[in-house]
A = this chain, B = another copy of it.
Amino acid sequence: MSDALQVAIEPTRDEHLAAAVQSVGARIVGLGEARILVWIGPPSEFPDLPDHVEWVALKTAGIEDFVTAGVIDNRRIWTNASGFYAENVAEHALALLLAGLRQINSAVLRHWDKQPIDTAVRSLHSSTVAIIGAGGIAASLIPRLTASGARVIAVNRSGRPVDGAAVTLPSARTDEVWGQTDHVVLAAPATAETHHLINAKSLATLPAHAWVVNVARGPLVDQNALVAALRDGQIAGAALDVTDPEPPADDDPLWSLPNVIITPHVANPASGLTRVMAPFLAENLRRFAAGEILLSVVEPGRDY
C-alpha cells in the first residue's frame, strides 16, 4: 500500500489493533487526519466526526448502546464485530455444557465425593443438543458438538437448513424442540420473540437430565421459573454466562443451587476483545483499500 491509509485508534492506543494497522501498511494518525476511525471506547465518549472519516469500526458485536446514543449516522460506513467473537463464545458454551455434564461444579465444591458424582456424570456423546438462535456462534459450535459425538437441532428464523445440524427448525416451531432434545444452548439475540423462551412450560417439557446453557442474554430465561425447575429436579442443571439482572443479587437463589454454574459474562472476555478483533480489522483494512465489501457492516435498522 504505497498511498497509506490513515487510521485513528481512539480514545486509547491498543497494541493489538496498532499492530494490525501496521501489518497491512496503513498509518496510525489522529482523528483530524483519519479516513478510518477504530473506536474502542464507550458511546458516551464518542467524538464529533469530521467528514473525512469514511468508515468507523466498532469493537463490540452488540451495538445497541451506540444506536441508543444516536452516534451512528448514514454518512459513512459503520462496522461492528458481529461474528468476530463466535469462536470464543462457542468455546465457552461447550465448556459450560461439558462442565455441567461431567459434574465439574460438584467436584470443585465437594471434593472427592465419588459415588454421587460418578452416578451424576452424563455424556455429551450420543446426546442431542438444541441450539436456539443458529447464527455465527452456532456455526462455530456445531462442529465442536458433532466432533464430540452429539447430534444437533438448530433453530433459526427461516428454518433454512444449517450446516452440520441434523435438523433445522424455524423459530416459529421452537416449542417442538423441548421434547426432542437432551440439552439446550441459547445463542439468540434478546428480542420480544426470544423473551422468556425458557419458561415454566419449556422447562416442564425438557427431560430431567437436561442442562440449559445460556451464552446469549439473560432475559431469554424466566429466571424464577428456572430456579423452580432446578429446585424440583425438572431439569438437571443450568450453566449461565448471562443472567437477569446481571450480576444476580447477592441473595438470588441461583447462587445457592448446587446444579447451577455461573460464569460472570466472560464467554467473550472484555480483556481480550482487541486481540481477537485485530486480524479481522487487518482483513477489513485490506478490503477497504481494495474497494471490496467489508466484513460486519452495520445494517441500518438492525440493532443487534
Contacts and interface: CB of A to CB of B under 8 A. Distances in A.
A271 B118 CA distance: 6
A266 interface: yes
Contact of A124 (B91, B108, B255, B264): B91
A105 B271 CA distance: 19
Interface string A272-286: 100000000000000
A287 interface: no
Interface in A138-163: 143-144, 146-149
A102 interface: yes
B109 A108 contact: yes
A10 interface: no
Interface in A92-110: 92, 94-96, 98-99, 101-105, 107-109
Contacts of A148: 91, 94, 144, 147
A105 B104 contact: yes
Contact of A261 (B104, B121, B270): B104
B269 A108 contact: no
A123 interface: yes
A160 B98 CA distance: 31
A112 B247 contact: yes
A222 interface: no
Contacts of A113: 264
Contacts of A96: 102, 104
Interface residues of A, number: 47
A68 interface: no
B262 A112 contact: yes
A265 interface: yes
A99 B91 contact: no
A248 interface: yes
A107 B269 contact: no
A262 B107 contact: yes
A111 interface: yes
A75 interface: no
A94 B149 CA distance: 13
Contact of A117 (B102, B112, B264): B264
Most chain B beta-carbon neighbours within 10 Å: one of A101, A102, A124, A147: A102
23 contacts: A88-B125, A91-B98, A91-B123, A91-B124, A91-B148, A92-B121, A94-B98, A95-B99, A95-B102, A99-B104, A102-B263, A104-B108, A104-B261, A107-B264, A112-B264, A113-B264, A114-B264, A114-B266, A117-B266, A118-B264, A143-B147, A144-B147, A147-B147
Interface of A: 87-88, 91-92, 94-96, 98-99, 101-105, 107-109, 111-114, 117-119, 121, 123-125, 143-144, 146-149, 247-248, 255, 261-266, 269-272
